[in-house]
Amino acid sequence: MSRRFTFPSALLLIAIGLSIFAVPAFADHGEGNKDDQEQIPFNDLSGPSRAVEVVEISGLLDPVLTDMMIDTLSNIDPTETLAIVFQVNSTGAVVSNEVLVDLADHILDAPVPISFWVGPSGSRATGPMAQLVGLSDDVGISPGARFGAMGDSIFSESSNYQPFNLPADTDLITETVGFNEAFERELARQSPVLPDHLFGIEGFEVVIDETADPPTVEPITQTRFKKLDVVKQFFHTVASPAVAYLLLIVGLGLLVFEFFTAGVGIAGVLGAGCFLFSTYGLYVLPTRWWGIFLLVLAFFAYSIDIQAGVPRTWTAIGTISLIFGSLFLFDGTPLSWITLVVGIVGAFAGMAAGMPAMVRTRFSSPTIGREWMIGETGEAIEPLSPNGLVKVREAVWRATTNRATPIEVGETIRVAGIDGLWLEVEPEEGAAKDYRDRSKNK
Same domain, yes or no: 64 and 102 = yes
Alpha-carbon gap, residue 266 to 259, rounded angstroms: 11
CATH code assigned at 142: 3.90.226.10
347 burial via Cβ count (<10 Å: 0-12, 13-18, 19+):
buried
| Side-chain-facing half-sphere of 304: CA atoms under 13 Å | 13
Let me know if residue 20 belongs to a domain.
no
pLDDT > 70 in the chain, percent: 81
Total of domains in the chain: 3
Same domain, yes or no: 163 and 123 = yes
**Residue 41: pLDDT band by 50, 70, 90 thresholds?**
very low
Span 131-185, pLDDT tens digits? 999 999 999 999 999 999 999 999 988 888 999 999 989 999 999 999 999 999 9
Q: Which amino acid is at 287?
A: T
**Residue 32 pLDDT > 70, yes or no?**
no
Q: Which of 81-95, 226-240, 360-374, 421-435 has the lowest mean pLDDT?
A: 360-374
Mean pLDDT of all residues in 253-270? 81
Let me know if residue 45 belongs to a domain.
yes
Which of 339, 361, 383 corresponds to the end of one domain? Answer: 361
- Choose the most confident range, by mean pLDDT, from 271-285, 308-322, 386-400: 271-285
Query: Given this model, what pLDDT does residue 401 score?
Result: 86
Which of 328, 361, 394 corresponds to the end of one domain? Answer: 361
Same domain, yes or no: 191 and 95 = yes
Same domain, yes or no: 346 and 207 = no
CATH code assigned at 407: 2.40.50.140
Same domain, yes or no: 200 and 301 = no
CA distance between the termini of the chain: 37
Cβ proximity of 49 and 205 under 8 Å: yes
Interior angle at CA 334, CA 284 and CA 69, nearest 5: 40
Let me know if residue 233 belongs to a domain.
no
Same domain, yes or no: 307 and 332 = yes
Same domain, yes or no: 203 and 55 = yes
Same domain, yes or no: 220 and 269 = no
Same domain, yes or no: 71 and 185 = yes
- Cα distances from 254 to residues 20, 250, 266, in angstroms, run 17, 6, 9
Alpha-carbon gap, residue 82 to 113, rounded angstroms: 7
Same domain, yes or no: 299 and 409 = no
Let me know if residue 1 belongs to a domain.
no
**Residue 25 pLDDT > 70, yes or no?**
no
Query: Given this model, what pLDDT does residue 39 score?
Result: 46
- Domain hosting 151: range is 35-228
Query: Given this model, what pLDDT does residue 223 score?
Result: 95
- Choose the most confident range, by mean pLDDT, from 37-41, 250-254, 418-422: 250-254
Same domain, yes or no: 356 and 411 = no
Let me know if residue 405 belongs to a domain.
yes
Let me know if residue 179 belongs to a domain.
yes
Let me know if residue 119 belongs to a domain.
yes
Cβ proximity of 281 and 244 under 8 Å: yes
Let me know if residue 266 belongs to a domain.
yes
Which of 361, 396, 420 corresponds to the end of one domain? Answer: 361
Same domain, yes or no: 85 and 217 = yes
